[in-house]
Amino acid sequence: MGYSIAFKNISLPSNNICDPSQPMIKIKKIKNLLLIIGLLTAIASHISGQKGKSITIHSENSQIIDATTEPPTQYLNGDVKLYHSGTFMFCDSAILRGTQLVMMHNVVMMQNDTIKIFCDSLRYDGDLLVTYLFGNIILENGPSKKLFTTQLIYKVDEKIATYSKNARLVDGTSTLISKSGKYNLKEKIAWFYSNVKVNGEDFELTTDSIRYNTDNQVATFLAPTQIVSDSSNIFSNTGWFDLDDKNGQFVGNAQYLEGKTRATSDTITYNNALDHVTLSSDTIQSEYISEKDTAYAKTIFYNKKNEIFRLVKNAIYTGEKNQVKGEIVYYDKKTEKFNVQGRSFVSDPPSIIEADTLDYDKTIKYGKADGHVIWRDTSAKTTIIADHVLYQGDENFMKATNDKGRPLFISQIDNDSLFMKADTLRAFRVIKERIILPDKDAARKAQKSKSKSQDKDDATDEITDKKNEVALDTTSTSIDTLLTASATDTIFTGIMDTLDYFAGDNDVRIFKSDMQAVCDSLVYNKRDSLFTLHHLPFVWSDSSQIAGDTIHILLKNNKVDRLIVSAGASIINSADLIFFNQIRGRHLVALFAESKIYRMNVNGDAQIVYYMTDDDKAYIGVNTTEASNMTFLLTDNKITDIKNYVEPKSKVLPMKKTDHEAIKVKGFIWNIEKRPKDVADL
């Protein structure tokens, strides 16, 4: 049978608390049986009166009671088992005086099925329900959580343990070390203070104080914290980290460093399972910088596993080959796909794109830009400004349109800007067989070569004419509208050519400082650097108007090299808009040097109406000439010499007696009202 003694306000000698080498205190011999019986009766009566606070003795091998103390003292030895306030306590020897208990040797405390405390000795206050533990202390809360220390205060009812002389908590594969701390076993929360270090399987965390949830293994930083692994280093003022899943959030001056990769933000969040990093800030630009990527934004989402970036607010992404700016930027590095919202900027040389929203997939070469789109091709020195641009690079297809107004095309030509507008701007690719066309003017050239009326200079001019005509024919072979030769005379080479075109559809208008033009549609052949104007085209240069069924403008070294008019060619100019100098023929070739015409060849039924002036620029007559072909030489855009070939017919008419309307060349149209005056007039 066990006994319990419950007396308050006892004071125990400190040298008897935890020292097992001290001999057990011996009591005086009881002189007679009556005294013993009286004592036991008093003890039983006291126990009955203090039952709610008493410490229950369940077993011991031997017991000695010292009744000379108040309250009496019990000395328990061998397999001691006690119970109080829901707690079982075990040891080799114990001293019990009222609700004050000292336990020594192989001491164990148990609460519920999970809490176990092992120590060398303890002092227990049953009134306050506080335990003071000493020696090699192990506090277990479940099978995987153990706290090791040398001094511990444990509140039995609250299940709170505190220490101030270093402790080590082992939780699974993680170890937490600190100088002081508190462990609430009921709420499964521990606080670690001063020189805190957490060691995991592949990381080390250092801080001054943290709160640790032993249930989900989440450590919350209460002071600046650094986490170091083999390859990375993370720092922040506060935050949290899941020691098991390796997820975390780092708040306040958050910094991440791994090799040549650096990230900074107000907050860095890391999801280990998804290998996903989030940088966010309301005050500064978050930044992620690696060897191959640079990203700036208020918020940066980066999926490292799939190499996907999502940048939000004031976003800038720079890769090895491209740069993107926008309010929101989505970029898949593996597929090189962009989606940009807000005012967007994408540099993917040679293309540079700006728009309000943008989708761009480099893998399939697809792009869709909307809202004040500015699309630049730095290699071609061209720019498109439109409301909407659709691009399919595998087919080299592009379409630019506007909701209001018309899209604008800008090209750098001859150290000047050429501006063009149309209802729709397009780019497209054609793959077709290369063919050789017959020389349609062979008969005329043969007849021309037999003429004996040409002097040596004229013969030289004829050779030049032939070269120009061949150039016309050769250039024309790349234009579908000119492929009208007989199939029986055409040579099919079997060689397939890839031709890239740029086109303007419906009401095309062009402005350049030294040249303006209008037409119904335009096609630009990139391979040949050839502009072709279709359907009632008009070109103005200085005071001259050039017209015809089709006009070709050929560039060389990004400068105008020649202008070719096929079918119904005419040139008209006027100094006073009353009398008009006129040239007409079936074909016209104008050669340029330094942006000025220095020579014109008019072939086939050539006509000229030329108003002559004296030194005071007063009209003195009008010259009309008809010939098979004509050549004009010019200096500073002024005709200095005219050569007529094959039966020329010329006459000079007086100004007053001439019907100036009647002498106008066939198809005369002075279309000056349609001439664009500036870019705004397009």
144-183: per-residue pLDDT in tens?
899 999 999 999 999 999 999 899 999 988 999 999 999 9
pLDDT at residue 142, as a whole number: 84
pLDDT at residue 449, as a whole number: 56
At residue 459 the predicted structure's pLDDT band, cuts being 50, 70 and 90, is: very low
pLDDT at residue 44, as a whole number: 38
Helices (H), 526-573: none
Determine which helix (DSSP H) or strand (DSSP E) holds 621, and give its type and residue range.
strand 619-635
CA gap 231, 249 in Å, rounded: 18
Q: In this predicted structure, which of 45-54, 326-335, 411-420, 483-492 has the lowest mean pLDDT?
A: 45-54
Instruction: Of 361, 365, 353, 356, give the one whose Cα is nearest residue 333.
Output: 361
At residue 1 the predicted structure's pLDDT band, cuts being 50, 70 and 90, is: very low
pLDDT at residue 18, as a whole number: 34
295-316: per-residue pLDDT in tens?
999 999 999 889 899 999 999 9
pLDDT at residue 139, as a whole number: 95
DSSP code string of 661-673 = TTTSPTT----GG
319-375: per-residue pLDDT in tens?
887 888 888 999 888 888 888 888 888 887 777 888 888 888 877 778 889 999 998
Task: Please answer whether residues 157 and 143 qualify as being in contact, where contact means their C-beta atoms are separated by less than 8 angstroms.
Answer: no
How many other CB atoms are found less than 10 A from the CB of residue 455? 8
DSSP code string of 34-49 = HHHHHHHHHHHHHHHH
3-state secondary structure of 82: strand
What distance lies between CA 305 and its chain's CA centroid?
16
Q: Report the chain's mean pLDDT, rounded to a whole number.
A: 82
pLDDT higher at 580 or 377: 580
pLDDT above 70 coverage of the chain, percent: 84
The domain limits of the chain are: 430-681
Q: How far is CA 549 from CA 181, 495, 519, in A?
A: 94, 30, 10
Task: Please answer whether residues 582 and 572 qualify as being in contact, where contact means their C-beta atoms are separated by less than 8 angstroms.
Answer: yes
Does residue 559 have a pLDDT over 90? no
At residue 2 the predicted structure's pLDDT band, cuts being 50, 70 and 90, is: very low
| CATH number listed for the domain at residues 430-681 | 2.60.450.10
pLDDT at residue 472, as a whole number: 40
Which segments of 189-230 are extended strands (E)?
189-199, 203-213, 218-221, 225-229
227-260: per-residue pLDDT in tens?
998 888 999 999 999 988 889 999 999 999 988 8
Which of the given ranges, 334-348, 490-504, 665-679, has the highest pLDDT on average? 665-679
Mean pLDDT of 650-670: 88
pLDDT above 90 coverage of the chain, percent: 40
* Degrees, nearest 5: CA angle 91-96-101: 70
Q: In this predicted structure, which of 215-224, 318-327, 439-448, 468-477 has the lowest mean pLDDT?
A: 468-477
Which segments of 275-423 are extended strands (E)?
276-280, 286-289, 294-297, 299-303, 308-318, 323-332, 337-348, 351-361, 366-377, 382-392, 397-401, 408-413, 416-421
